């Protein structure tokens, strides 16, 4: 039987690192946090890291990888991890990596992601090939837009071209049906050891300035020319209407099943479906994150859902560490690496 004392858990100091490292320590692992110089304070103050390695830039990851490998560290990827290393570099990681690397490509490409989610039977907002096709309210999303900066709504081709006059016309964009409803981000965990899908919780984002525009009268919004942006500043917990839960489980299970056809090993560990719930209780999914999301951060001490199942504090970060621990103890570590 393997011993977790022979392994460590490591991640980059950002995004969900506090939760990941705290969860790892709660499961009995020693932890390593790779931090940008000058940004290690939270990891010291909250005492989640046994070792802090400081770097000038996260691109130095590959230079210190040997050091991680010498300590038998398992790397836990998160959203910032993928964006700092670049998804094209994920395949080059030689250290033990929790999760299937191949699935990141499916998440990073809008067309591939759409193919995956449609194959899983999910409802997606319509995509319009060209502005002339617009026949309902669309959200115009620019590629690489930082926090949804500059996104706008249009109801017709004419309105689209009118609003594009103010935008940088060289930027690539996608025209997506705008779903009027409430945003719901569903957090899942699928373990290859147990073969079971768990629903870990839900959140919505707290976005600036979109979440405060209602505090300004409509007339003033127009007079001042307020532009909507969706810069994420934090996350707000949600408890879902209970009768919707069976559908959520089914969606998660179908996404896992569909992923097994796309990439060897399929999706496992934490993931999130990001969508809108309309007034007829239809879930429209506009994105998948194939790793831990920051929306799980309110639940460092567990969510109402993990409490139901575990009767002990179980964050998504801790659930990852539990998966790795069980894999080590069953001599099946490869099952949770990819
Ligand atoms: P994104 O950059 O794709 O994460 O989207 C930024 C914001 O726009 C989020 O608050 C979403 O809730 C919202 N949003 C994205 N796509 C849609 C859509 N198709 N319909 C309605 N709201 C959307």
Local confidence band at 61 (pLDDT 50, 70, 90 cut-offs): very high
Whether 97 and 161 share a structural domain:
no
Q: Which of 186, 193, 184, 185 is nearest to 268 (CA)?
A: 193
Whether 189 and 283 share a structural domain:
yes
In a domain, 220, yes or no: no
Q: Is 336 in the pocket of ligand 1 (CB under 6 A)?
A: no
Whether 59 and 191 share a structural domain:
yes
Q: Is 297 in the pocket of ligand 1 (CB under 6 A)?
A: no
Neighbours of 217 (CB within 10 A): 9
Query: What is the DSSP code (8-state) at residue 142?
Result: E
Whether 146 and 250 share a structural domain:
no
Residue 55, pLDDT above cutoff 90: yes
Q: Is 276 in the pocket of ligand 1 (CB under 6 A)?
A: yes
Phi, psi of 211 (to 5 degrees): -80, 0
Whether 9 and 111 share a structural domain:
yes
- The mean pLDDT value for 108-126 works out to 94
Place of tokens 């998660």: 252
Neighbours of 121 (CB within 10 A): 12
Q: Whose CA is nearest to atom 11 of ligand 1?
A: 183
Local confidence band at 226 (pLDDT 50, 70, 90 cut-offs): confident
In a domain, 267, yes or no: yes
Query: For the chain, what is the mean pLDDT?
Result: 94
Residue 158, domain CATH: 3.30.1490.20
Residue 147, pLDDT above cutoff 70: no
Q: What is the pLDDT of residue 234?
A: 95
Whether 173 and 248 share a structural domain:
no
Local confidence band at 166 (pLDDT 50, 70, 90 cut-offs): confident
Residue 297, domain CATH: 3.30.470.20
Q: How many domains does the chain have?
A: 2
Q: Residue 51's domain spans which residues?
A: 4-122+181-210+234-336
Q: Is 230 in the pocket of ligand 1 (CB under 6 A)?
A: yes
- The mean pLDDT value for 272-280 works out to 97
Residue 156, pLDDT above cutoff 80: yes
Residue 161, pLDDT above cutoff 70: yes
In a domain, 109, yes or no: yes
Whether 105 and 240 share a structural domain:
yes
Q: Is 286 in the pocket of ligand 1 (CB under 6 A)?
A: yes
Q: Is 203 in the pocket of ligand 1 (CB under 6 A)?
A: no
Whether 140 and 256 share a structural domain:
no
Q: Which of 158, 178, 198 is the last residue of a domain?
A: 178
Whether 133 and 275 share a structural domain:
no
Q: What is the pLDDT of residue 148?
A: 74
- Residue of higher predicted confidence among 124 and 108: 124
In a domain, 303, yes or no: yes
Residue 287, pLDDT above cutoff 90: yes
Whether 13 and 150 share a structural domain:
no
Q: Is 306 in the pocket of ligand 1 (CB under 6 A)?
A: no
The residue to mutate among 123, 147, 153, 183, having the most atoms of ligand 1 within 8 angstroms of its beta carbon, is 183
pTM here?
A: 0.95
- The mean pLDDT value for 123-146 works out to 91
Ligand 1 atom at shortest distance from the alpha carbon of 176: 19
Whether 174 and 268 share a structural domain:
no
Query: What is the DSSP code (8-state) at residue 251?
Result: H
Ligand 1 atom at shortest distance from the alpha carbon of 125: 19
Whether 72 and 141 share a structural domain:
no
């Amino acid at each position: 039987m393997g011993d977790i004392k022979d392994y460590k858990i490591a991640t980059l100091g950002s995004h969900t690192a506090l939760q990941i490292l705290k969860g790892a320590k709660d499961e009995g692992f020693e932890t390593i946090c790779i931090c940008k110089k000058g940004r290690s304070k939270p990891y010291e103050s909250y005492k989640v890291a046994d070792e802090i390695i400081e770097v000038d830039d996260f691109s130095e990851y590959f230079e210190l990888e040997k050091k991680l490998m010498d300590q038998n560290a398992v790397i836990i990827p998160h959203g910032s991890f993928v964006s700092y290393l670049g998804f094209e570099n994920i395949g080059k990681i030689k250290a033990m990596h929790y999760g299937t690397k191949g699935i990141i490509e499916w998440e990073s490409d809008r067309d591939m992601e759409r193919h995956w989610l449609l194959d899983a039977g999910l409802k997606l907002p319509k995509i319009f090939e060209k502005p002339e096709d617009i026949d309902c309210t669309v959200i115009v999303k620019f590629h690489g837009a930082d926090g949804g900066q500059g996104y706008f709504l249009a109801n017709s081709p004419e309105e689209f071209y009118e609003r594009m006059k103010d935008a940088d016309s060289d930027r690539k964009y996608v025209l997506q049906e705008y779903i009027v409803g409430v945003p719901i981000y569903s957090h899942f965990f699928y373990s290859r050891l147990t073969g079971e899908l768990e629903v870990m919780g839900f959140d919505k984002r707290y976005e600036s300035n979109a979440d405060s525009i209602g505090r300004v009268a409509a007339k003033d919004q127009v007079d001042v020319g307020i532009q909507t942006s969706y810069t994420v500043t934090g996350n707000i917990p949600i408890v879902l209407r209970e009768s919707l839960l069976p559908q959520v489980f089914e969606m998660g299970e179908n996404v896992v099943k569909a992923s097994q056809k796309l990439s060897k090993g399929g999706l496992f560990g934490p993931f999130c479906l990001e969508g809108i719930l309309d007034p007829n209780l239809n879930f429209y999914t506009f994105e998948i994150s194939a790793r831990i999301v920051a929306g799980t951060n309110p639940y460092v001490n567990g969510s109402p859902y993990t409490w139901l199942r575990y009767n002990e504090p179980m964050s998504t970060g801790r659930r990852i560490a539990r998966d790795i621990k069980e894999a080590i103890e069953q001599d099946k570590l490869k099952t949770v690496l990819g």
